[in-house]
Structure 1
Amino acid sequence: MTEAVPPAPRPVTPTTILARELDEIADRLGDGVPADVVARLRRARDLAGGLDPYLDRCTSPESADLAELARRTREAPWASREVVSGSGPLEQEMLSGHVEGRFLAFLVRMLRARRVLEIGMFTGYSALAIAEALPEGGEVVACEVDPYVAGLAREWLDLSPAGAAVTIEVGSAVETLDRLEGPFDLVFVDADKTGYAEYYRRLLDSDLLAPGAVVAVDNTLLQGQPWADDPTANGAAVARFNQLVADDPRVEQVLVPLRDGVTLIRRV
């Protein structure tokens, strides 16, 4: 019996969605369309579609342990009815992935971070990427609301020596933040989008952030939804969050168009 092949990841970033749209339009062009228009459309398609693979090739490779965790995530039965999540549908596209993992590891080393807080961890790829970059004695505290996916993350993190630096806190991130003791040198937020504003307020209004700490927030471009005419509920929540940060005189921020958008925030 042939083993089932997991489905390829669907487009979930502005660039990959744009590439898919251009590809489908190019395939539907009928006779009579000027050749130069067809050529320009295909160049635009290739420009958008080639970006992420090029970034992958030009970024330092992931470790064998990260590659194994990514493989297990891709092959997990997310579409199965046996998978029940307390945080909504789970899918392989939630994985941070190679380039973003390297980006986070770079931040850890630049900041010389020793304690890192993660709000939303999924299967643990970003937590492991961060843990691999920490100095001896460093730690990652990862908040995950969903017991099923937290169990997978613990199991897969334990396959790597660096995984021992990761502590998983299962439950509401808001409740976990209320009882955690700081400070943290880096915080990575990749959780429910409607909770972003509250996580941000609790971080900025507490002593959880060390002097010079950076808060990195994922999905702040959210498939182009924040500037769409009719955004989804998550898209509208991210748009409100982005404006909240932009209007906050306590911080400086930059929105980096990496994958689905990562905003870096620090107190001024």
Structure 2
Amino acid sequence: MDVLPEHTRRFLAATAPEHTAVQAEMAALADEWRFPIIGPEAGAVLRLLARLADAERVFEFGSGFGYSATWFLRGGADTVVCTEFDAEEAERGREFADEYGYADRVTFEVGDAMETIDRYDGPFDAVLIDHRKASYVDAYRSVLPTLRTGGVVVADNVTAGPVDFERLVAHAADGEPLPSADVDAATRGIGEYVDVVRSDDAVETVILPVGEGIAVSTKVV
């Protein structure tokens, strides 16, 4: 299901920032591996949010080989903690960082991001949640105490990707129940995440239909 009309998607793609050299190489690798990346439209939002939040420290739940991290760095972030369960992807991310000269600004942690966050003290200025959809709510709750007031949390894949967007629309607009976890864990996870952040007075949230849809939450208390 296309969230945006074709001409709107073409316009967003045409007006998105150009890739840097490392991002272009990463995008080519993503095509080769059939690995999903957020793309330049959503990446530009990460860059802007890092700039607006004056971000110093960023934490990512799910990083692959570090494509999204490069957008935070372009926005002026000092350091990004990247987490990735797949050791090969993390190692490729380290190679990119070494080759393009930003290895001192990124840390790749291999393993479960939910365990990794417990080893890091805050505060963080920006957070990306882009790993197992069923774990989005747990990730949000685990990182919110370490997020400074004024910091942002971005969740990817809220309108596309592995989710049934029609079910999410029916849930949000008409109150239809979400599918059970054993039927569609990804759709249920995203639906629950959106419910949680929209009802949490600690943050203000907006859904942006760029890339595969991102939920942006700003911590206000």
With the shorter chain as reference, the TM-score category is 0.7 to 0.9
1:55 aligns with 2:7: no
| Matched residue, 1:129 | 71
Structure 2 matches for 1:93-112, cutoff 5 A? 94-112=36-54
Equivalent residues in 2 for 1:61-210, closer than 5 Å: 61-76=18-33, 91-92=34-35, 94-134=36-76, 138-204=78-144, 206=145, 208-210=146-148
- Cα contact 2:47–2:75 (8 A) shared by 1: yes
Structure number with greater Rg is 1
Give me the whole-angstrom Cα distance separating, in 1, the residues matched to 2:5 and 2:215: 22
Q: Secondary structure at the match of 2:27?
A: helix
Paired-residue identity, %: 33
1:213: which partner in 2? Answer: 151
- Is 2:186 the counterpart of 1:248? no
Letter of the aligned partner of 1:215 in structure 2? V
Counterpart CA distance in 2 for 1:234 and 1:255 is: 17
Q: CA deviation at 1:256?
A: 1.2
Take 2:39 and 2:213, find their aligned partners in 1: how far apart are those partners? 13
Contact 1:95 1:123 in 2 (8 A): no
Q: Is the 8 A contact 2:148 2:219 kept in 1?
A: no
The Cα of 1:163 is off from its aligned counterpart by 4.5
Q: Which amino acid aligns with 2:105?
A: A
| Partner SS, residue 112 of structure 1 | coil
Q: Is the 8 A contact 2:39 2:211 kept in 1?
A: no
* Residues 239-266 of structure 1: per-residue CA shift (max 9 Å, x gap): 1111111222222111111122111112
Paired AA for residue 218 in structure 1:
D
- Cα shift readout 1:24-45 (whole Å, capped 9, x = no counterpart): xxxxxxxxxxxxxxxxxxxxxx
TM-score after normalising by structure 1: 0.71
TM-score of the two chains, using structure 2 as the length reference: 0.85
Q: Matches of 1:261 and 1:189 in 2, distance apart?
A: 12
Secondary structure, counterpart of 1:118 in structure 2: strand
| Code of the aligned partner of 2:210 | L
> Partners of 2:128 and 2:16 in 1: how far apart?
20
Which SS does the other structure have where 1:60 is aligned?
A: coil
Structure 1: gaps (5+ residues): 1-13, 19-46, 77-90
Find the counterpart in structure 2 of residue 34 from structure 1: none
Asked if the contact 1:131–1:163 (Cα under 8 Å) also holds between the matched residues in 2, the reply is: no
In structure 2, C-alpha distance between the alignment counterparts of 1:253 and 1:49, rounded to whole Å: 26
Higher mean C-alpha deviation, range 186-195 or range 248-257: 248-257
Show structure 2 runs of 5+ residues with no match: 171-175
> RMSD value over aligned CA atoms?
2.0
2:207 is paired with a residue of what secondary structure? Answer: strand
Query: Partner letter of residue 23 of structure 2?
Result: L
Contact 2:127 2:153 in 1 (8 A): yes
Encode CA deviations 1:125-179: one digit per residue, 9 max, x unaligned. 11112123326xx111111122122122222232212344111111111111111
* Higher RCO (C-alpha under 8 Å, 6+ residues apart): 2
Write the letter of the residue equivalent to 1:255.
I
Letter in 2 for 1:100: A
Number of equivalences: 206
Contact kept, 8 Å, 1:190 with 1:219, in 2: the verdict is yes
